Amino acid sequence: DTGVSQNPRHKITKRGQNVTFRCDPISEHNRLYWYRQTLGQGPEFLTYFQNEAQLEKSRLLSDRFSAERPKGSFSTLEIQRTEQGDSAMYLCASSYGTADGYTFGSGTRLTVV
Amino acid sequence: AQSVAQPEDQVNVAEGNPLTVKCTYSVSGNPYLFWYVQYPNRGLQFLLKYITGDNLVKGSYGFEAEFNKSQTSFHLKKPSALVSDSALYFCAVRVGAEGYNNNDMRFGAGTRLTVKP
């Protein structure tokens, strides 16, 4: 297993377009997290899955954001009608248990122009 | 709700000298504390954690951290810094309690460590 994989690495989109990011976690990890990181800030929690169930969703996640994890494997994060304020690094992480450190992917950098 | 503070935006040390990156936390309940490192254009990499037990925990690359409950701190340390340690370091906390299902791990704003030759 090569770790957490995120695609694409970079995405440039025009304001108002929809974008979708993919995350492939470590196969043994049943917990998957999405975070958003802007320049000079630490990662901000967006949402959490345990297997295929989305158990938590931050208030930061507006109705334009949706995440899925079908079959408890990979996950997708979709942003509809993108805005310039959505420009950030979107990080995916996975873990096995609540006391475990997270394994992060390299992130998808979104630029909305 | 839990929070983390990293009071220093930047820490500069000379190679071979000891380094400390500070972290204080606020949490209701027993904390699970973590340190992560981020290299340029990379995701965060787990360094070490405190869950319970010995207050001094050891992690990757020779790093260690000391949990101090009375001062609510979890400072990251290394006896002898390397130039390759230069990176962004994040402290993180989540509530650790039996049966508690809080998966909102809160991160500090990060401290940029620069080790000069």
Q: What is the pLDDT of residue B41?
A: 75
Q: What is the pLDDT of residue A67?
A: 96
* SS3 category, A54: strand
Nearest neighbour of B105 by CB, restricted to A40, A45, A107: A45
Phi/psi for A100 (5° steps) reads -90, 150
Nearest CA in chain B to A105: B43
Instruction: With beta carbons under 8 A apart, name residues in chain B contacting A40.
Output: 109-110
Q: Which two three-digit tokens encode residue A77?
A: 């994060």
Task: From B73, B79, B72, select the one nearest B19 (Cα to Cα).
Answer: B79
How many CB atoms neighbour CB B13 within 10 A? 19
CA pair distance A53, B78, nearest whole angstrom: 40
Q: What is the pLDDT of residue B64?
A: 97
Which among B21, B39, B44, B112 is the top mutation candidate for probing chain A, defined by the most A β-carbons within 10 Å of its own β-carbon?
A: B44
Long-range contacts of A53-57 (CB under 8 A, 24+ apart): A55/B101, A55/B103, A56/B103, A56/B104
Q: Which two three-digit tokens encode residue A68?
A: 């899925």
Phi/psi for A86 (5° steps) reads -80, -10
Q: What is the pLDDT of residue A40?
A: 84
Q: Which two three-digit tokens encode residue B89?
A: 């370091």
Q: What is the pLDDT of residue B96?
A: 56
Nearest neighbour of B109 by CB, restricted to A42, A104, A107: A42
Contact A105 B43 (CB under 8 A): yes
Query: How far A113 CA lies from chain B's nearest CA (Å)?
Result: 21
Q: What is the pLDDT of residue A56?
A: 81
Q: Is B107 on the interface with A (CB under 8 A)?
A: yes
Nearest CA in chain A to B92: A42
Q: What is the pLDDT of residue B102?
A: 58
Residue stretches of chain B with pLDDT short of 50: 97-100
Nearest CA in chain A to B43: A106
Q: What is the pLDDT of residue B28?
A: 79
Nearest neighbour of B49 by CB, restricted to A41, A101, A105: A101
* SS3 category, B84: helix
Task: Give me the tens of pLDDT residue by residue for chain A, a chain 113 residues long.
Answer: 579 999 999 999 999 999 999 999 999 999 999 999 998 889 999 999 989 888 888 887 889 999 999 988 999 999 999 999 999 999 999 998 778 899 999 999 999 99
CA pair distance B93, B85, nearest whole angstrom: 22
